[in-house]
Amino acid sequence: MFQPAISVPDHLLDQPGRWFLFDERNRLLLAEGRPPVSVEAPPGTTDLHVLGHDAGGPIRAGRLPAGYDVDRPDGLDGLGEGDAIVIDLRRAYAVLDEEEWILAGRAAQILTWDVDHRFCSRCGTGTEPHHRDRARSCGDCGHLAFPRLTPAVITLVERDDGRALLAWGRQFPGRFYSALAGFVEPGETLEQCVSREIREEVGIEVEAIRYFGSQPWPFPHSLMIGFNASYAGGELVLQEEEIVEADWFRHDELPPVPTGRMSIAGWLIEDWVARQTGRT
């Protein structure tokens, strides 16, 4: 079982472990389709972090040296033999098992937070890693910057006639529909955010808001919190700067939607389809 930590226990210091290493374009290094295993990272690797450990040993993250070339004969340099690639984190979902993909997302978020907080946001002084916590500390004013986490809700709205609301957001380059989502604002409960986002984006009211599940989403540092909700009234009036199209769909007439286990949007839709077809 994975145990998060900011340092490696003494008895594991000399044990090889997995490395989640990203290049300057935030692509993940894989050797033979898996995170490389070694005691040390490649020479020149920066921003080294301990993620934790499990039965397989220490788990670490780092930033590959600028210009790192996996095609060089010494490209892995101590990280094993065989084919090596660098791959976009989204594409890595199809390669890694779910546990390793989640760890890769954790690594990506920590590396992003680390580089984004090299200077104190309060006084501008350079920061240093905190001696005890996962934080960067300002030696001048004492401000601590912890890893950032941005909560967002995603909600599938259902109607009594067996239809669900799906929308094509402008963030999708092609025709692609999903459940409605939005970021939680300060001073707002998750349920209030669900109601507000749906009202703002499509103009309707909802009720019977029910928690579905959650998913860490490292693009770049979100926590997606899923809900089901029931339609309570109103006509669809789209927030055009956010939504291209929205409509109510039956389970057997779906437009292009998320599928598979990568995102909670797909989980919500697949759960609804299963309930509609009696497969739950």
Q: What are phi and psi of 249, to 5 degrees?
A: -125, 145
The one-letter amino acid code at 253 reads E
State pTM to two decimals.
0.89
pLDDT per residue rounded down to tens, the chain (280 residues): 999 999 999 999 999 999 999 998 899 999 889 999 999 988 889 999 999 999 999 999 999 988 777 765 455 555 544 578 899 999 999 999 999 999 999 999 999 999 999 999 999 999 999 999 999 999 999 999 999 999 999 999 999 999 999 999 998 888 999 999 999 999 999 999 999 999 999 999 999 999 999 999 999 999 999 999 999 999 999 999 999 999 999 999 999 999 888 999 999 999 999 999 987 6
| pLDDT at site 79 | 54
The one-letter amino acid code at 73 reads P
Q: Burial level of 202, CB count in 10 A (0-12/13-18/19+)? A: buried
Distance (Å, whole) CA 253 – CA 75: 49
Neighbours of 225 (CB within 10 A): 21
Domains of the chain as residue ranges with CATH: 3-116 (3.90.79), 119-148 (no CATH), 150-276 (3.90.79.10)
The one-letter amino acid code at 271 reads D
Residue 30 near residue 64, CB atoms below 8 Å: no
Residue 192 near residue 263, CB atoms below 8 Å: no
Neighbours of 71 (CB within 10 A): 8
Q: What are phi and psi of 127, to 5 degrees?
A: -105, 165
| pLDDT at site 66 | 84
Distance (Å, whole) CA 60 – CA 188: 35
Instruction: Quote the tokens at residue 222.
Output: 């979100």
| pLDDT at site 73 | 46
- Residue-by-residue DSSP string for the chain: --EE-SS--GGGTTS-EEEEEE-TT-EEEEETTB--EESSPPTT-EEEEEEEEETTEEEEEEEPPTT--TTSTTSSTTS-SS-EEEEEHHHHTTTS-HHHHHHHHHHHHHHHHHHHTSB-TTT--BEEE-SSSS-EEETTT--EEPPP-EEEEEEEEE-TTS-EEEEEETTSSSS--B-EEEEPPTT--HHHHHHHHHHHHH--EEEEEEEEEEEEETTTTEEEEEEEEEEEE------TTTEEEEEEE-TTS--S---SSS-HHHHHHHHHHHHHTT--
Cβ contacts of residue 142 below 8 Å, gap of 6+?
Answer: none
Q: Burial level of 236, CB count in 10 A (0-12/13-18/19+)? A: middle
